[in-house]
Amino acid sequence: MFKYFPDNYMWSLSVMRCLASGGHFGEIHWALQDLQDAANVAPQGDSEAWHAAWKKLAVQVEEIGRTALETGKHQTAASALMRAAHYWQWAEAFVEPDDDRAAKSYERHLTCFHDAGGLLPNAIEVVEVPFGDTSLSAYLVKAEGASGPAPAVILSDGLDGTKEEMVLMAQALAARGISCLAVDNPGQGATLRIKGLKARHDSEVAAGAAYDYLASRTDIVDSSRVGLIAASMGGYYAPRAVAFEKRVKACVAWGAIYDYHAVWLRRLNLKPGVKATVDYRAALGTTGKHLLNIIGATDFDQALQKFESFTLKGVAQNITCDILLVHGEDDKQTPLSDAQKLYEEIGSKNKELRVFTRAEGGAAHVQLDRQEPAVSLIADWMADHL
């Protein structure tokens, strides 16, 4: 994977994530080019410098979008506001969760995304998915060219990811005649930040709620043809969900995870009688405080206890739907052996494991080093299996 910051994996991963969701390299480079020294501040970089740089970019690009909107230039407005939404996400990303700037930046992120989505030719519909006595934040992208009920996919991201990051995948599915419900599950995005719902191991509950919502949209959804795609930590969430939620017809785990508790055992400093701490030499996608907020723990020992139930051991055998695992040969966050172990234990007769190699590109975590052809492969596979 290209490392914009050679000695800071987390910051470099974030740059690649932003590019993969639609950010422009020239804009990002303009904002971050003077942060090389800040990236080397222990333990994970100077988060104040990071926030200031991304905020400066987000404000500038949002202003371009707002001005274009006022003057009726809707294409320019949609493009700029969508990019601003992604930049605001990264302005918020490493600010401590209880810092007022986090909530303000995230609100700007959502507002820009909502405003941009409404300007697109295939408008993005912001929705709420009923979930117990509250709801899951979501958006719906309708299948292009469909005159009646069409297949649909439930789409989500990983540990600290958001549904907005997945917009290009949602649009790729829509272009293939598949409606897409992109959801922030418990522990993710607006469902975490606004609803306060922490991550939970039983992802089939959220998947079932998302399916119920799609089934209620009888005007546009064929409920017999619903799939599920999830990325990064979603590589645990998605297989877990379809092991129990049998109404889902096909599943893609984009960055497969067999045992998430084991993943974090590798990322923490563990010594008898000493509180667990983060091993900052590990390939991490977010800060320790964000991890604790996502899982609802006060320290890393408690987080590890909560993660004990985040395993597919004894569960994967119950998966019976068509399933595709997509993994990178050089994934620094979850080794290929995890994907292979999961593949071996999946019970479905129709299972596939696609490994992207260093030689062909796409070998990094969720193919962030080269997302094509993975995005197209996943979208095409889902179209074939629904």
| C-alpha distances out from residue 372 to 66, 150, 161, 188, 205, Å | 31, 25, 19, 25, 31
100-117 and 47-70 are packed helices; what angle lies between their axes, rounded to 10 degrees? 30
Of 214, 211, 259, the closest CA to residue 235 belongs to 259
Let me know the angle formed at the C-alpha of 89 by 84 and 92, rounded to the nearest 5 degrees: 125
Contacts of 166 (CB under 8 A, 6+ apart): 21, 155, 156, 157, 182, 231
Q: Rounded to whole angstroms, how far apart are CA atoms 329 and 335?
A: 8
Instruction: Return the pLDDT at 129.
Output: 98
Q: What is the pLDDT of residue 195?
A: 98
The position carrying tokens 């299972």 is 351
Give the separation between CA 19 and CA 28, rounded to whole angstroms.
9
CA distance 305 to 374: 34
Tens digit of pLDDT per residue, the chain (386 long)?
Answer: 999 999 999 999 999 999 999 999 999 999 999 999 999 999 999 999 999 999 999 999 999 999 999 999 999 999 999 999 999 999 999 999 999 999 999 999 999 999 999 999 999 999 999 999 999 999 999 999 999 999 999 999 999 999 999 999 999 999 999 999 999 999 999 999 999 999 999 999 999 999 999 999 999 999 999 999 999 999 999 999 999 999 999 999 999 999 999 999 999 999 999 999 999 999 999 999 999 999 999 999 999 999 999 999 999 999 999 999 999 999 999 999 999 999 999 999 999 999 999 999 999 999 999 999 999 999 999 999 99
Contact (Cβ atoms closer than 8 angstroms) between residue 177 and residue 144: yes
Considering just the CA atoms, what is the radius of gyration of the chain in Å?
Answer: 20
What is the C-alpha to C-alpha distance for residues 93 and 6, in angstroms, rounded to an integer? 20
- Tally of CB atoms within 10 A around 25: 11
Contact predicate 365/255, CB 8 Å: yes
- What was the pLDDT predicted at 162? 98
Parallel/antiparallel/unpaired status of strands 274-278 and 268-271: antiparallel
Q: What are phi and psi of 371, to 5 degrees?
A: -75, -25
CB within 8 A of 105, min separation 6: which ones?
A: 51, 55, 58, 88, 91, 92, 95
CA–CA separation, 269 and 304 (whole Å): 12
b vs e for 146-183, b when ≥16 Cβ sit within 10 Å of the residue's Cβ?
beebbbbbbbbbbbbbbbbbbbebbbbbbebebbbbbb
The conformation of residue 297, written as its DSSP 8-state character, comes to -
Q: Which pTM does this prediction carry?
A: 0.97
Contact 257, 338 (CB under 8 A): yes
Q: Over the stretch 99-151, which tens digit does the pLDDT of each residue have?
A: 999 999 999 999 999 999 999 999 999 999 999 999 999 999 999 999 999 99
Q: What are phi and psi of 304, to 5 degrees?
A: -60, -40
pLDDT tens digits along 220-230: 999 999 999 99
Tokens standing for 167? 């917009």
Strand partners, 277: 269
Q: At a CB cut-off of 8 Å and minimum separation 6, what does 197 contact?
A: 131, 134, 136, 186, 187, 191
**Residue closest to 194 by CA, chosen among 103, 292, 95, 127:** 103
The structural domains of the chain, ordered by start, are 1-121 (1.20.1440.110), 123-259+310-386 (3.40.50.1820)
